A and B are shown apart, each in its own frame.
Chain A
Amino acid sequence: MEDNVRYKRLKGSSNLRLRLVLATLSGTPILVHDIRADETFPGLRPHEVSLLRLIEKVSDDCLVQINPTGTKFKYKPGIMMGGRCEHDCGLSRSIGYFLEPLILLALFAKKPLSIKLTGITNDSKDPSVDTFRSTTLPMLKRFGAPSEGLNLKIESRGVPPRGGGAIVLTMPIVKNLEAVNWIDEGMVKRIRGIAFSTKVSSQFENTMIHAARGIFNRLLPDVYIISDHKTAAQAGESPGYGISLVAETTSGCFISVDTAISYLRKEESSEIEDERQELTPPGDVGEQIASALLEEIDQGGVVDSTHQGLLFLLCALCPRDVSKIRVGKLSPYGMETLRHIADFLHVKFHIKPDPSTGTVILKCLGCGMKNLSRKLS
């Protein structure tokens, strides 16, 4: 059995999530080699191993083989099963890192997925769970995912370095996605947001909200940012605070930004000599994040730069129909996504800049993906 499997050889650890998702959906076995082979700490990072574990957990008969040093692994995809499960995401990356591939896989699973993920809910590197709930899930609905059963519940929050957050994600399954024609970005009609704090004073939230509103006030009156102060068990293990903002447009697009401030993780902070790093004060955080949101709005496009990759993936996974989308400046991750899509699914996008608005219009013919693992009743 083992010998006649032809592995697609890939190099390096970059875009591991994309590779795993596309390999699973397209059923191509992959072999990734030279993973941080020349670094001081070679091999897979804990979060990458955890991701592999997660995929193993939600799929049936998939095969993951990692070599002793962790610089090389083989992955033979199985069938996505879904169902109920739990997973500890560890502390090296936040839950957002795991959610991005998971939602795509769960859409094409055999049974609806209901999974409890524990770890870090908010950090500055990955999209926070709030953003997922406010922006990513509505985006899936546009592609034909049924709204019932599509839910994300935040049970407790956790920020680095010690995490302690937990969420419950339920995902429905689809027969196939629907192609979209999504080029109308519309105008921003309301801004919503959540400011949270764990194990710190609730004043932090109010300061952030106040600062953010200060920037929006000149542009839009309809700004409403709720504060979410967590205490005791719900607050996780570490102190921190953060904010997530969503701008909703008249055509139903959601543009979001988020950030979280907390103490750094051990391995990161080891380089820094100081015992206690300086944290950005909440006022500055509010201002920065509001500016970032305006920046995203300024960029144009129907999604923000964070969601570009997911948008492209969803378009490529549509049936053999044309999808047309408009995004702002192509983000590096988005471009990587496009390349990987071309590699795995043989779908190429037609990319055309729209100079008058500074946006980019992409067109593609979906790869005709169907949910093969779904059971016929």
Chain B
Amino acid sequence: MGVLTHLDKFKDVKKLKKTKKWLKDRFWAEISHGAKLFYLSGLINGKYAKREIHNLARFISVMKFQPLSWRSSHPYILVDRFEDVTPPERVRMNNKCDRNITVFGYLRGCNLKRGTKVHIAGVGDYSIAGVTGLADPCPLPSAAKKKGLREKEKLFYAPMSGLGDLLYDPDAVYININDHFVQFSKVDDANGATTHKGLGFYFSDKDPDVGEALVKSLQNTKYTINEKLEKSFINLFSRKPNISSEDQSNANHSKEALEEIPNTEPSTQYQSGEEIEADGLCGEGVDGDLDGSKSTGQDEGVQEDALTRSESSDSDEENSKAVEKQGRHKDQLKEHIQFQDGRLRRKVIFGNDINHTELKDSDEEDGSDGNTGDQDDDDDQSSSGSEFSEEDREDQKKDDDMGNISMWKQSLAERTILRQNTNLMHLVYGKTTSTATTSNNEAQDSSDDEESEDDAFFKPKGEGSKKLRDGLVDGNVNSNDCSKYINYAKDKNWKKEEVCKSIRDRFVTGDWSKAARGNEVADANSEDDDVVYGDFEDLETGDKHDGQDADDTGNRAVHNEDDLATEERRLKKLALRAKFDAQYDKSEISEESDEKEGPKFHRGEANDSGHYEKMKEDIEIRKQMNIAELNDLDEATRLEIEGFRTGTYLRLAIYDVPFEMVEYFDPCHPVLVGGIAIGEENVGYMQARFKRHRWHNKVLKTRDPIIVSIGWRRYQTIPVYALEDRNGRHRMLKYTPEHMHCLAMFWGPLVPPETGVVVVQNLSNNQAGFRITATATVLQFNHGAHIVKKIKLVGYPSKIFKKTALIKDMFTSDLEIARFEGAAIRTVSGIRGQVKKAAKEEIGNQPKKKGGQPREGIARCTFEDKILMSDIVFLRAWTQVEVPCFYNPLTTALQPRDKTWQGMKTVAQLRREHNLPVPVNKDSLYKPIERKPRKFNPLVIPKSLQKDLPFASKPKDIPSRKRPSLDQRRRVVMDAHERKVHSLLQQLHLIRKKKIEKRKLKEEQNRKKHEEKKAKEENVLRKRRREERQERYREQDKLKKKIRRKVEA
């Protein structure tokens, strides 16, 4: 949208109108047809009119963009929070080691699946080491109306803003509390302790005194230092290095803190905070021990699971459960105390317990799957039976853990059905992926990391899961690859009547209603399952409307038909609503624009709106269908199938990014993490339709490096420009055309066709001209580039026969000649010919006689006429142009932000810097052409031809004379009379000449006069004509207006 100012400087209304129109046309030509222009009428008291600014703001807010296909088809995250989670030990050892980072942010674009790679803008491509969905840190305000915004309820979201008072991390939740809330009681301390160091929410603005710190630290230690050290030692063996080492260092810290308290520094507070963290970790360790889990690696998984679980579930329900749980176990009692202290912290530990049992549960399932894995579906029933019993046991266990919550038993039957469903998935995918989320993977990854840091990330993603089902696959590694499944288990004899009867209803000759019912029942069943499943979910969260639902299922089976219909209707309705919304917005806009800018704008929109509308509608319907299909799945499966949905708050862990990213991280600059689709990490040649931007004042040179921005990526590359000839040949251009599209071929990471490209030459901020150099659209990509340029081979005749000649210097070898056999050649004088073959040695090429090697590269060519030794022979051909395989990703995030990224320089830049002159090829310079007059040999007519010629045409054989002839030699001597006559004649001639001269002069003058006269008359005439025309137009216009008025009336 453009804004026009200073329009009040135009005094003349007509002129203003004209200027507006002219500017609009120009704007449309420059930007896009139909682009909006806003006119500000002018300053009043040094300010723009408030109303107008208001309108402008409204226009900006309701501006409609064409949806960007790139953004809608790729997931991306604008990073809210950025953490360096490298084990501090590693950093201490080597400050420049590759870092592990986590980034947080809302997922946009489209769903993010596990295993997608990401591109961090300005850094590079990385595979995601772990993804976790988190609760929205800034949820939408509840529907209840509030009068004002209290301090506690403030919702605030902006990138890198710290997101208010809550922070989520894999092992804790941090709450930020203002300084003045901090008191001496233990309650606040526990809260305060959780303040995270990374974000700089220190309390220690005012220096705490020594005693305070001492008391606080003592308050918080539940264990003696020895105990702590022991526990951290246990953790030392854990598979995840960072926690354990942190733990240890924390313990050390606390020790130091206690020792150093006498000479307190401002940091003691923070150290004591860490101490508490250590405490918590130790506590968890203890929990793990109590539960009898031996592998600490599993423990890690548990912790992380706990986090995801606790965050995804509703906190209120958790609370209520926690209340139920109160006072069951000793350690839980302890947790309960913590619950009263710090609200969310308790949850973490509570979740721990549940999840631990769940993990076990899943482990057991694993085992059972291993047993049933190889068997067919037929065995499903039995296996599910066995599972049932396992389930029972589990539940017993769970009961032990959780107390006798009667709800759990009620749903057992439904649960078995559910298990069976997921079982088929387990059978196929061989792994309990539903409970063990990425965090599990992460744990595994990190363990791998410890074992062999180099290898871990070069392993494909699927490897982990493969390991688990190796038992299943191992047997038939080399099995026959055959899609046909021959299961002619001929236990059924289809000749028998009763066997045939069993499938009679699958034929049109059978019972139609029955078949239809069969289908329906299937649908009903599937829905029932869902309902049952819903029940189960509810049970878990503690709600009690299962009985009601059970009734519902009965009803539902009956009303299934209705349901289907209603479902369809609902979909349509939703789609319609979306469509209406879109239309409503649009009409609103167009109305407004009508008000403001007259009816002209509307025209353009109306034209394509039909197509757009239809497409939009289709997309909307499709979207609703997808949502409807996926809604009936449980969360875990849904995550598995569609990935993380847009709008989820995500935590991405990315390993091994360069340390510069952390070092030069600047929260003022956005960090963008974009997902890479299939096939986009490969590199190759891309062909783009390329146009120099009309505001850029120079044409671009082939092979001058440019910086392109395609999708998420920005990189420097070397393009070769080309134009497509009529015969489909891509001919190289040295420079881009001034105002035309051309093709640009460059090397880089591939993107799908139709992706837009923006080209700049220089990244620096202070440039005089317009920065955008060109725009382009990717047309296709190739693994090879086929661009050609013209090449002229030049040769000289070395020997001429009649119409055949041997041409030297054109080719360098006989092999080369073989390549060009049959190629058309031409002499300068225009005699056409053809390359035949490499010349044989004995004909014109006899260096052997002279004792040398036979010379290669002499070609025998034939021409349509005999050529001369002085002729030059050309061969016009095309040669392939290599597009350099060069691309240099921009690493703007890996350097200080105020520094300009410097990539490859152009040749011109280098020359300028090193003060080198442009090399000049002497042969290319223009020189005055000196041509010697040609000396032709005398024409010789063959005797046989001469014989037949008539005498007149025959060359006469006149012997040349030594002495000049008599005529030439004699002198003329005039007598007196003759002399007189001669002089008289001369005088007469002179007189005549003068006369003619005079006459000419006069004529010239006359003509000039006449022309002047004519021009005058013409002028008058033209004026009159113009007036006439104007009069006529005026009348026509009047007439038109009259007609229009009539029509309008």
Selecting from A162-170, A202-210, A230-238, A367-375, the interface stretch reads: A367-375
Q: How far is the CB of B425 from chain A (nearest CB, A)?
A: 5
Selecting from B132-140, B293-301, B776-784, B1034-1042, the interface stretch reads: B776-784
Distance A306 CA – B427 CA, assembled complex (angstroms): 20
**A 9-38 contacts with B by CB, 8 A:** 9, 11-18, 25-28, 34-36
A294 within 8 A of B: yes
B742 within 8 A of A: no
Contact status B508-A354, CB under 8 Å? no
Q: How far is the CB of A356 from chain B (nearest CB, A)?
A: 5
A357 within 8 A of B: yes
Q: How far is the CB of A327 from chain B (nearest CB, A)?
A: 11
Number of A-B contacts (CB under 8 A): 249
Contact status B678-A79, CB under 8 Å? no
Distance A287 CA – B497 CA, assembled complex (angstroms): 15
B47 within 8 A of A: no
Contact status A353-B460, CB under 8 Å? no
Contact status B506-A297, CB under 8 Å? yes
Given contacts A298-B502, A356-B525, contact A27 B430 (CB under 8 A): no
Contact status A16-B428, CB under 8 Å? no
Which of chain A's residues has its CB closest to B420's CB?
A353
Which residues of chain B have C-beta atoms less than 8 A from A34's C-beta?
Answer: 477
Contacting B522 at CB < 8 Å: which of A11, A97, A357? A357
Which residues of chain B have C-beta atoms less than 8 A from A187's C-beta?
Answer: 505-508, 510, 512, 515
Which residues of chain A have C-beta atoms less than 8 A from B622's C-beta?
Answer: 179, 321
Contacting A126 at CB < 8 Å: which of B483, B495, B512? B483
Distance A160 CA – B293 CA, assembled complex (angstroms): 61
Contact status A346-B113, CB under 8 Å? yes
Contact status A330-B641, CB under 8 Å? no
Contacting A346 at CB < 8 Å: which of B116, B497, B505? B116
Which residues of chain B have C-beta atoms less than 8 A from A355's C-beta?
Answer: 525
Contact status A13-B481, CB under 8 Å? yes
Distance A17 CA – B481 CA, assembled complex (angstroms): 7
Which residues of chain A have C-beta atoms less than 8 A from B493's C-beta?
Answer: 291
Contact status A9-B460, CB under 8 Å? yes
Contact status A350-B515, CB under 8 Å? no
B583 within 8 A of A: no
Given contacts A79-B782, A305-B487, A363-B629, contact A356 B506 (CB under 8 A): no
Contact status B753-A360, CB under 8 Å? no
Distance A11 CA – B510 CA, assembled complex (angstroms): 49
Distance A354 CA – B493 CA, assembled complex (angstroms): 25
Interface string of B462-501 (1 = CB under 8 A from A): 1101100100000011111111110110101111010010
Interface string of B674-711 (1 = CB under 8 A from A): 00011101101000000000000000000000000000
A67 within 8 A of B: no
Given contacts A219-B500, A365-B642, contact A306 B483 (CB under 8 A): yes
Q: How far is the CB of B448 from chain A (nearest CB, A)?
A: 15
Selecting from A138-146, A148-156, A266-274, A334-342, the interface stretch reads: A334-342
Which of chain B's residues has its CB closest to A355's CB?
B525
Which residues of chain B have C-beta atoms less than 8 A from A332's C-beta?
Answer: 485
B770 within 8 A of A: no
A265 within 8 A of B: no
Which residues of chain B have C-beta atoms less than 8 A from A218's C-beta?
Answer: 497, 500
B793 within 8 A of A: no
Distance A36 CA – B481 CA, assembled complex (angstroms): 13
Contact status B477-A353, CB under 8 Å? no
**B 782-796 contacts with A by CB, 8 A:** 782-784
Distance A192 CA – B775 CA, assembled complex (angstroms): 56
Distance A250 CA – B515 CA, assembled complex (angstroms): 12
Given contacts A187-B515, A356-B525, A373-B780, contact A219 B507 (CB under 8 A): yes
**B 109-147 contacts with A by CB, 8 A:** 110-111, 113-116
Distance A148 CA – B102 CA, assembled complex (angstroms): 51
Contact status B678-A367, CB under 8 Å? yes
Q: How far is the CB of B73 from chain A (nearest CB, A)?
A: 6
A66 within 8 A of B: no
Q: How far is the CB of B644 from chain A (nearest CB, A)?
A: 12
Which residues of chain A have C-beta atoms less than 8 A from B428's C-beta?
Answer: 330, 335, 338-339, 349, 351
Contact status A333-B507, CB under 8 Å? no
Given contacts A345-B678, A346-B461, contact A372 B485 (CB under 8 A): no
Contact status A27-B494, CB under 8 Å? no
B519 within 8 A of A: yes
Contacting A364 at CB < 8 Å: which of B507, B641, B782? B641
Contacting A12 at CB < 8 Å: which of B478, B510, B626, B781? B478
Distance A215 CA – B458 CA, assembled complex (angstroms): 57
Contact status B526-A351, CB under 8 Å? no
Q: How far is the CB of A357 from chain B (nearest CB, A)?
A: 5
Which residues of chain B have C-beta atoms less than 8 A from A86's C-beta?
Answer: none
B98 within 8 A of A: no
Q: How far is the CB of A50 from chain B (nearest CB, A)?
A: 13
Which residues of chain B have C-beta atoms less than 8 A from A343's C-beta?
Answer: 460, 462, 465-466
Which of chain A's residues has its CB closest to B459's CB?
A9
Distance A154 CA – B502 CA, assembled complex (angstroms): 37
B1028 within 8 A of A: no
Q: How far is the CB of A21 from chain B (nearest CB, A)?
A: 11
Which of chain A's residues has its CB closest to B634's CB?
A350
Distance A373 CA – B753 CA, assembled complex (angstroms): 8
B405 within 8 A of A: no
Contact status A60-B678, CB under 8 Å? no
Which of chain B's residues has its CB closest to A108's CB?
B679
Which of chain A's residues has its CB closest to B637's CB?
A350
A331 within 8 A of B: yes
Contact status A372-B782, CB under 8 Å? no
B630 within 8 A of A: yes
Q: How far is the CB of A288 from chain B (nearest CB, A)?
A: 7
Contact status B479-A125, CB under 8 Å? no
Which of chain A's residues has its CB closest to B504's CB?
A219
Contact status A353-B678, CB under 8 Å? no
B382 within 8 A of A: no
Contacting B783 at CB < 8 Å: which of A79, A297, A370? A79
**B 857-887 contacts with A by CB, 8 A:** none
Contact status B509-A291, CB under 8 Å? no
Which residues of chain A have C-beta atoms less than 8 A from B466's C-beta?
Answer: 343
**A127, A290, A354, A364 — most chain B CB neighbours (10 Å):** A354
Contact status A368-B512, CB under 8 Å? no
B633 within 8 A of A: yes
A53 within 8 A of B: no
Distance A61 CA – B783 CA, assembled complex (angstroms): 6
Contact status B518-A357, CB under 8 Å? yes
Contacting A353 at CB < 8 Å: which of B424, B504, B505, B784? B424
Q: How far is the CB of B502 from chain A (nearest CB, A)?
A: 7
Contact status A356-B521, CB under 8 Å? yes
Which residues of chain B have C-beta atoms less than 8 A from A85's C-beta?
Answer: none
A-B contact pairs, 17 of them (CB 8 A): A13-B477, A17-B481, A61-B784, A110-B780, A184-B519, A288-B488, A291-B490, A291-B493, A300-B506, A320-B110, A333-B483, A348-B641, A349-B425, A361-B526, A372-B781, A374-B753, A376-B753
Known pairs A181-B629, A356-B522; list 6 more (Cβ under 8 Å): A25-B679, A185-B519, A215-B494, A297-B503, A330-B424, A361-B526
